[in-house]
Amino acid sequence: MSDFTDSRNEILELIRNTDLTNEELIQALSQYHESDIADVIPSLSDEEKETLFSKLPNELLGELLTYVDDPEDYIEELDPSKAADIVETMDADDAVDVLEDVDEEVLQDILEEMEEEQREDIELIHKFEDDEIGSKITTNYITLKKNYSIKEAMRTLVSEAPENDNIYNLFVLDDDGTYYGTINLKDLIIAREGTSMLDITKTNYPTLYAHDKVSEVINEIKDIDLDIIPVLAENNTIMGVITTQDIIETVEEEMTEDYVKFAAVDEDADVDDTLFQSVKRRVPWLAMLLVLDILTSSVLTGFSHIFTIIPALVLFQSWILDSSGNAGTQSLALTIRAITNDELTKETFVKRMIKELLTGLLDGLLVGAAGFLISFLFLLITKNPVTGTEIDIANQLIAAGIVGTSLFAAIPITSLAGLFIPLLFKKIHIDPAVASGPLITTLSDMCGVAIYYTLATILFGALL
């Protein structure tokens, strides 16, 4: 049995042990991580949950609610006053996350019960759009004035640390209240009395602005690799900070958003969606793909006369479509990653284009050669006539040549399309990930079909 299962069973036994006093239960649970305790809550009966919530202190309940799935289900069962007391113990950003899906009427009741300062912090974060840095901030930080002595700074730190535990970096304010710089806790601790605050303040410490778009600064956040970054208003006053945990969550959210867009799925889709929700989210994309596929069908219609005269070519049509689509998708994935990581600049574009072209040509040559050989052997072994009912080796070679040449031509073209399409979307201020499934697949199919049957028309022209 795993340690996780052991811990889970132990926690359940503690919660269900009616012989323990509240103090003994709290002390025993303090030996486990809050996420482990949160994992067992869904296993409790309604009565057990109610009993547990009545025994635990608000601070611990606040921690647990940040780890449970669907915290709104628990919040809505609580008295608004009790819920407000719990939420007030959380960092503002955690409180916003927990209250995000709470019923609007219940939410208003909870906010009315909260202290004004905590309520204002939540409302501050809530006013930003989800794609803005301001929506990711917490108000858990400590500020110092730049004219403080070292002793005054330490006194402020000690008095505020119990309420604000993000203390590894402290933020210094100018005389007018705007952000001046950052002091590392270590530098403050080892500073001797008489040292000027200005001597240990980093005035070039990285900052973000609350209205910055997450997608535009995500690489900067990853690159600077800091535990905490101040987030400023337009007038350079500090609105909050973004912490390592916030940064990790932000990166994960951005990657998830790009992935679902790349897969042509609604970005709000979730594995826990109901059947109806899943269908509702996917059908619009599938309908759009269906409409786009009409374009491919239209191209095929122009070559419909070939199908009855040279039916063998239809056997290999899927090869062309799949290979060209895969090549375009591979190039697209690398291009989106390069754009996301700010690796694709004007200086590197030409180099990237040449590389994609050469890669496509070499891939096309190898895949085309394999396609030629396999298709020829297939026609030869199955004794499948290319035209009419008679087996003609020359026609089989020509058909195989059409397959191989089409692969050789289509793969580099769709590889380049995978490079240019997301760049075009970025240029017109549309998320490049949106250029994924629908557009690149349709263009690849159209390109592959057009090349394949155009070659057939040229080489078998006498029969058509």
Segment 404-448, tens digit of pLDDT:
999 999 999 888 888 888 888 777 776 666 555 567 777 888 888
Q: Which residues of 375-385 are buried (b: 16+ CB within 10 A; e: fewer)?
A: bbebbeeeeeb
Nearest to 384 by CA among 310, 308, 460: 310
19 and 123 co-located in one domain: yes
Query: What tokens does 333 get?
Result: 């994935």
Name which of 29-33, 186-190, 206-210, 383-387 the model is least confident about.
Answer: 383-387
456 and 321 co-located in one domain: yes
406 and 459 co-located in one domain: yes
Output phi, psi for 138, to 5 deg: -125, 155
268 is a domain residue: no
**H-helix segments, 1-45:** 3-16, 22-29, 34-40
304 and 428 co-located in one domain: yes
83 and 199 co-located in one domain: no
On whether the CB atoms of residues 368 and 405 are closer than 8 A, the answer is yes
Task: Name the average pLDDT for the chain.
Answer: 82
124 and 154 co-located in one domain: no
252 and 171 co-located in one domain: yes
Give the model's pLDDT for residue 1: 44
138 is a domain residue: no
How distant, in Å, are the alpha carbons of 168, 197, 226, 308 from that of 187?
Answer: 10, 10, 16, 82
In percent, how much of the chain has pLDDT > 90?
A: 21
270 is a domain residue: no
Domain of 293, in residue numbers? 275-463
127 and 148 co-located in one domain: no
Domain count along the chain: 3
The whole-number average pLDDT for the span 199-212 is 92
389 is a domain residue: yes
136 is a domain residue: no
Higher pLDDT, 161 or 223: 161
CATH number for 201: 3.10.580.10
The pLDDT of residue 257 is above 80: no
122 and 176 co-located in one domain: no
On whether the CB atoms of residues 144 and 164 are closer than 8 A, the answer is no
Query: What tokens does 211 get?
Result: 């209205």
Q: Strand pairing of 169-173 and 143-145?
A: parallel
The pLDDT of residue 93 is above 90: no
269 is a domain residue: no
